[in-house]
Amino acid sequence: MFFLGAGCSSSSGIPEGGTLVRRWLPRLKKLKTGDEHDWESWAKEVYPDYNEDRPSLLYGRVIEDLFLTPEERQREIERLTEGKDPGFGYSVLAQLMTHERYGRHCNVVLTVNFDDLIADALYLYTQKKPLVISHDSLVGFVRVTRTRPLVIKLHGDARLEPKNTGKETKELAASVQATLKALLSETGLVFVGYGGHDESIAEILDEIPASSLPWGIYWLGSRIPAGRIGDWLKRRNAIWVQHRGFDELMLHTLREFGLSHPNDKRFRTLLETYVETFEKAKSRVEEKLAAQFPSVMPPTLWETISRASFWWAVALEARKYRKADPQRADLIYRAGLERFPGNALLLDSYATFLLEVRKDGDAAEEHYKKALELAPEDAGILSHYAELLTARGEWPAAEEYHRRSLEIAPNRAESLARYASFLTVRGDYDRAEEHYVRALEIAPDKASIVGEYAKFLACVRQNYHEAERCYKRALEMTPDDALILSSYGAFLAEALQDHAAAVECYEKAVVIEPDNAHILSDYAAMLARAGEDRDKVEALYRRAEAAAPNDAYVLARCAGFLLAGGNEDGYTLLERSMAAPDAARQGQSCLLASLLYLYAHAESAQLQEYALNRIRTLLNEGVRSPGWDFAENVKRAAISGHPEAEFLEKLADVVVGQVDLAALSQFDAWKKETPSV
């Protein structure tokens, strides 16, 4: 039997008691004195027993002083627990509780938490619906069975008379006490994430007979609690396991018991069934309308969606047209936002569409901000907005939003991967890899993240064996993902020198997404490096330019190719790239590459100085351009008599992240910063 405390829920975004006390005390001081200044000193005066190291001891008193009525306290608890999903630790515990072999021995949870995380985890990850006892009046329904998990919420539910204050938690109802004593008579008890400060729990533990809990008592935490529960643990010879992290504990559990990771098959099936049923119903209705009223046009698809009952029906329908007919997708989103004007997730979906498809960063930012006004603690929206800020090179703001996202949902794989990408661009490769690994521990079957990590291993770590394994695994999961195919093609060409296999990958990617300008330009770059006919390569670049005439990345790639061949049209494309409205979206990595082209090929000394000064600033800020290849441009610059040819070659290696920045310190050109023009 498990006894879960607030420490188990912190990694799922619900703060522990100590964290809440630190948040509430400044608000309480402002309420009492008019400002939050020096709240810790004030707290020590008002609460003489306030301990900075153990603020959770004041939880009951502070919540009672700040939220004066039970209704106010309940609203605060609802706010804290609303919208939180069970993280990694809860998913593993749910699998253990329902395991065919082990579950019958450990399928009961006692908890003082108000949240629904363990119950949600059981339903989401195992499809087993537990019996949840969330109120004293339900205790009579307690039945311990071999197959159905049982969750007893000792302090109530966030939505049903939660017990918070010292008076409320001092004692439990007699019926609850009797039930617990019976449950504990023939089992063992494992405390996890619990502080051990509840008098009501201490009362029950003191009263159970010595013959109870024959399978032992285990206390998992950084310290044995003081007071009655600590004394009881010592008397009962409890085993103290000095282990603080719930997720880490569950990771060991996953490995030791040979549990498997959950997958998204169930959710995909639910959504696919919904969409399929919707499409069939729509077709039947439109056919009947056409038969009965042949002169009347059936309602357009976006009008149908605008009357949808759920916001995500709008997003799903718009997604079908985002590439083939962006204008129609835009209309669907607009209709949906009229239907659901206050839905933060639909605003977020539309913002991402505006950014990625319409290339309208300003409009995307406007909608992200609207979404965050409605849902300021939504980890997904925060992460998406952070990605936009990253692309614009607004590093401090991007870092802040990435961190806020991960504080709220530390086990959200997509947010971890986006932050890893941010750290990669910043040149912090060790931390980037750490976050990629964490993301894949949580979502090992997320093909997009596996593909991103493969590119990181290839371009940054030069770990080609592991990179190839990851690429193959990603393509096993999503064999028709054009972006992963394109990335794998570049890897095959550059790392493994397998030109034929690389061409095969790119050709397949182009068939799948024939108008994807990035794939076309990357394919052209690969062919250029392989020495293919320049006319063929240029034709691919021009095709990419036609598909995305204002795309900074595509224009920069094409400019680099033309300049390496001595074609002065490259200057015009380079200028267009750096001035493109999409330049902010492509980010500082693309800008850095464009500036290197300018420094390599500009005939004016002033332009070279200007480019080098900006390159210096970006490199010192940690910006890099992994995956770019400047070898032909360096050669062309040397042939053309570049005054710092040796330095340029080393600078290109630093820009792509292959050489440390310190390698430039030996060159006079790097040491001397000249006034910008």
Q: Does one domain contain both 163 and 145? A: yes
What is the domain count for the chain?
5
**Comparing C-alpha atoms, which of 416, 451, 410, 408 is closest to residue 436?**
416
Only one residue has tokens 């008379």, namely 161
How far apart, in whole angstroms, are the C-alpha atoms of residue 593 and residue 619?
Answer: 11
The separation between CA 541 and the C-alpha centre of its own chain, rounded to angstroms, equals 34
Given this model, what pLDDT does residue 76 score? 81
Contact of 450 with 473, CB cutoff 8 Å: yes
In the numeric block, which tokens belong to residue 533? Answer: 């006919």
Three-state secondary structure call for residue 220: strand
Confidence of residue 227 (pLDDT cuts 50, 70, 90): confident
Q: Please give the angle made by the CA atoms of 179, 181 and 186, to the nearest 5 degrees.
A: 110
Only one residue has tokens 């659901």, namely 340
Based on its alpha-carbon atoms, the radius of gyration of the chain, rounded to whole angstroms, reads: 30
Q: Does one domain contain both 122 and 206? A: yes
Q: Is the pLDDT of residue 166 over 80?
A: no
How far apart, in whole angstroms, are the C-alpha atoms of residue 157 and residue 428?
Answer: 43
Q: Is the pLDDT of residue 72 over 90?
A: no
Amino acid at site 668:
D
Of 256, 285, 320, the last residue of a domain is 256
Contact of 226 with 254, CB cutoff 8 Å: no
How far apart, in whole angstroms, are the C-alpha atoms of residue 39 and residue 179?
Answer: 43
Q: Does one domain contain both 365 and 397? A: yes
Q: Tell me what the pLDDT averaged over the chain comes to.
A: 84
Does residue 555 form part of some domain?
A: no
pLDDT in tens, 567-598: 989 999 998 888 876 555 556 788 899 999 99
Q: Is the pLDDT of residue 160 over 50?
A: no
Contact of 151 with 118, CB cutoff 8 Å: yes
The CATH number assigned to the domain holding 113 equals 3.40.50
In the numeric block, which tokens belong to residue 177? Answer: 């006490």
Q: Does one domain contain both 347 and 464? A: yes
How far apart, in whole angstroms, are the C-alpha atoms of residue 65 and residue 73?
Answer: 10
Higher pLDDT, 677 or 53: 53
Q: Is the pLDDT of residue 494 over 70?
A: yes
How far apart, in whole angstroms, are the C-alpha atoms of residue 667 and residue 643?
Answer: 12
Q: Which residues contact 291 (CB under 8 A, 6 or more apart)?
A: none
Cβ atoms within 10 Å of 310's Cβ, excluding its own: 12
Does residue 377 form part of some domain?
A: yes
Q: Does one domain contain both 496 and 600? A: no
How far apart, in whole angstroms, are the C-alpha atoms of residue 212 and residue 370?
Answer: 56
* C-alpha separations of 485 from 66, 319, 434, 493 in Å: 56, 21, 25, 12
Altogether, the residues listed in the chain come to a count of: 677
Q: Does one domain contain both 280 and 314? A: no
Does residue 384 form part of some domain?
A: yes
How far apart, in whole angstroms, are the C-alpha atoms of residue 426 and residue 396?
Answer: 11
How far apart, in whole angstroms, are the C-alpha atoms of residue 243 and residue 358?
Answer: 49
* C-alpha separations of 459 from 467, 490, 634 in Å: 9, 10, 19
Confidence of residue 156 (pLDDT cuts 50, 70, 90): low
Could you give the percent of the chain with pLDDT greater than 70? 86
Q: Is the pLDDT of residue 348 over 50?
A: yes
For residue 2, the cross-strand partners are: 109, 190
Q: 496 burial class (0-12, 13-18, 19+ CB within 10 angstroms)? A: middle
Given this model, what pLDDT does residue 221 score? 87
Does residue 554 form part of some domain?
A: no
Of 81, 107, 123, the last residue of a domain is 81
Q: Which residues contact 293 (CB under 8 A, 6 or more apart)?
A: none
**Comparing C-alpha atoms, which of 555, 635, 615 is closest to residue 607?**
615
Does residue 527 form part of some domain?
A: no
Only one residue has tokens 């992290």, namely 245
Does residue 198 form part of some domain?
A: yes
Q: Does one domain contain both 77 and 144? A: no
Q: Does one domain contain both 283 and 389? A: no
pTM value?
0.53
Q: Please give the full DSSP string across 221-263, using - where no structure is assigned.
A: SSSPPSSHHHHHHHHTTPEEE----HHHHHHHHHHHTTPPPP-
Q: Please give the full DSSP string across 394-436, using - where no structure is assigned.
A: -HHHHHHHHHHHHHH-TT-HHHHHHHHHHHHHTT-HHHHHHHH
Contact of 549 with 585, CB cutoff 8 Å: no
Does residue 264 form part of some domain?
A: no
How far apart, in whole angstroms, are the C-alpha atoms of residue 625 and residue 525?
Answer: 15
Q: Is the pLDDT of residue 52 over 90?
A: no
Cβ atoms within 10 Å of 476's Cβ, excluding its own: 11
Contact of 601 with 570, CB cutoff 8 Å: yes
Q: What is the crossing angle of helices 569-579 and 552-564, to 10°?
A: 160
How far apart, in whole angstroms, are the C-alpha atoms of residue 348 and residue 351?
Answer: 5
Q: Does one domain contain both 461 and 445? A: yes
Does residue 676 form part of some domain?
A: no
For residue 218, the cross-strand partners are: 190, 239
Given this model, what pLDDT does residue 157 score? 45
Domain that holds residue 405: 303-522
Instruction: Give φ, ψ of 481 to 5 degrees.
Output: -85, 110
Three-state secondary structure call for residue 218: strand
Three-state secondary structure call for residue 97: helix
Contact of 612 with 637, CB cutoff 8 Å: no
Q: Is the pLDDT of residue 218 over 90?
A: yes
Q: Does one domain contain both 389 and 324? A: yes
For residue 151, the cross-strand partners are: 109, 132
The average pLDDT across 394-415 equals 92
Given this model, what pLDDT does residue 288 score? 62
Q: Does one domain contain both 378 and 453? A: yes
Q: Does one domain contain both 509 and 372? A: yes
Of 495, 522, 549, the last residue of a domain is 522
The CATH number assigned to the domain holding 507 equals 1.25.40.10
Could you give the percent of the chain with pLDDT greater than 90? 43
pLDDT in tens, 240-286: 998 767 888 899 999 899 888 876 666 766 666 676 676 666 666 55
Q: Which residues contact 59 (CB under 8 A, 6 or more apart)?
A: 17, 18, 20, 21, 164
* C-alpha separations of 242 from 10, 12, 93 in Å: 18, 22, 19
